[in-house]
Amino acid sequence: MDVIIIDGQTVEQDPEGYLRKLTDWQPVVAEHLARQEGIELSEAHWEILNLLRDFYQEYEMSPAMRPLVKAVAAKLGPDKGKSIYLMSLFPGSPPKLASKIAGLPKPTNCL
Amino acid sequence: MSENKKSFLIINRKAPYGSSAARDALDVALTISVFEQPLSLLFLDDAVLQLLPSHKPDQIGQKNLSANLAMLEMYDIDQLYVSRTSLEQRGINPDTIQLKIKPLTEPEIALLIKQHDQVLSF
Amino acid sequence: MTLHTINKTPAESGALKDCLSALSEGDALILIENAVYAAMPAYAELFTRLPGSVQGYLLDADAQARGLQDLNPDFRVIDYDGFVELSCRYQKVVSWF
């Protein structure tokens, strides 16, 4: 679990499965991380993952639930900007799970 | 639930990067907002230096605090205040601040502290 | 001759005041970390009574990190290599913190 090899590239994970290095992330890594969590990535997942990566680019932090919902509502519309929709894609804790698959740090201050 | 709410004021007093105070204050602010308690932030003394635009802290191996502060509105933390005197002492024009923030006089700051249930200082 | 390093803002402690009153002719002063804020124009008054032979420097990476742009022109902006070179050139280094 600590080191995975994808397309000949070595990718390190922390004990919770988050990437050690931001720069190790690429789409094929995301697919691998998602499978570890029992998720097959669809277009709907990718919309959220890309939005999260943009969020991190702008604010240099991973969002908790409320700001994530707010960002999704602003970019993808009110139907998707709901916790129930995000829960259907990333069950359990959407901010934690989606940040992990997006190769970002674990959100702090997240219940 | 509403009877359990307490209003919080976080007073920031330290410059960014030289110590962890600015980041600690931000962490506590985000945590309070996740618990949905009413929250205000006041920038006083050297903390007004956190509000200067265009930080480039990668050369000193730190995260960009101004990027993090821009995120406050995504957490619905929009009650932001700054000491007019502290800005003036450092020659900072309030119009150059990129956050939506309200400059306060000293009596207004005293009133702000009085109006909150809990005050945390960093 | 002495190189004085200072890492506190003018407001956060008495370090800068103590440092300024301890300078001698031919010494140098370098602002690092939070002390780079002392090179904001609003603080220029603090440095007007220094001996003319005292050269002031400030560390570029620390000024850039903090978004400082209009700096007191009396301070020469140097990088880490310049800092190392200064530390070697002076007999003593005194840190004010």
Count of alpha carbons within 13 angstroms of residue A68, beta-carbon side: 30
- B18 and C33 in contact by Cβ < 8 A? yes
How far is Cα C35 from Cα C32, in angstroms, rounded to an integer?
A: 5
* Structural domain count, chain C: 1
Could you tell me which residues of chain A have a Cβ less than 8 Å from any Cβ in chain B? 58-61, 63-67, 70-71, 108-111
The C-alpha angle C51, C46, C71, rounded to 5 degrees, equals 100
| Secondary structure of residue A79 in the 3-state scheme | coil
Model confidence at B19: pLDDT above 70: yes
A near C: at least 3 beta-carbon pairs less than 8 Å apart: no
Q: How does residue C12 score in pLDDT terms, banded at 50, 70 and 90?
A: very high
Query: Of chain B residues 24-63, which have a CB less than 8 A from chain A?
Result: 27, 30-31, 33-34, 63
B66-119: per-residue pLDDT in tens?
999 999 999 999 999 999 999 999 999 999 999 999 999 999 999 999 999 999
How far is Cα B117 from Cα B44, in angstroms, rounded to an integer?
A: 19
Q: Where are the domains of chain B?
A: 2-121
Statement: B2-121 belongs to CATH 3.40.190.10: no
The backbone torsions φ and ψ at residue B121, rounded to the nearest 5 degrees and listed phi first, read: -115, 135
From the candidates C66, C69, C77, which should be mutated to test the interface with B, based on the most B CB atoms within 10 A? Answer: C66
Residue C79: CATH number of its domain: 3.40.1260.10
CB-based contacts of A34, cutoff 8 Å, min separation 6: A40, A41, A45, A101
* Pairing status of strand A9-12 against strand A3-6: antiparallel
Q: How does residue B3 score in pLDDT terms, banded at 50, 70 and 90?
A: low
Q: How does residue B12 score in pLDDT terms, banded at 50, 70 and 90?
A: very high
Angle between helices A43-59 and A94-101 (to 10 degrees): 90
**Domain, as residue range, for C72:** 2-96
A67: chain B residues, CB-CB within 8 Å: 71, 74-75
C20-73: per-residue pLDDT in tens?
999 999 999 999 999 999 999 999 999 998 888 999 999 999 999 999 999 999
Q: Where are the domains of chain A?
A: 3-36, 43-101
CB-based contacts of C22, cutoff 8 Å, min separation 6: C4, C94
- C64 and B66 in contact by Cβ < 8 A? no
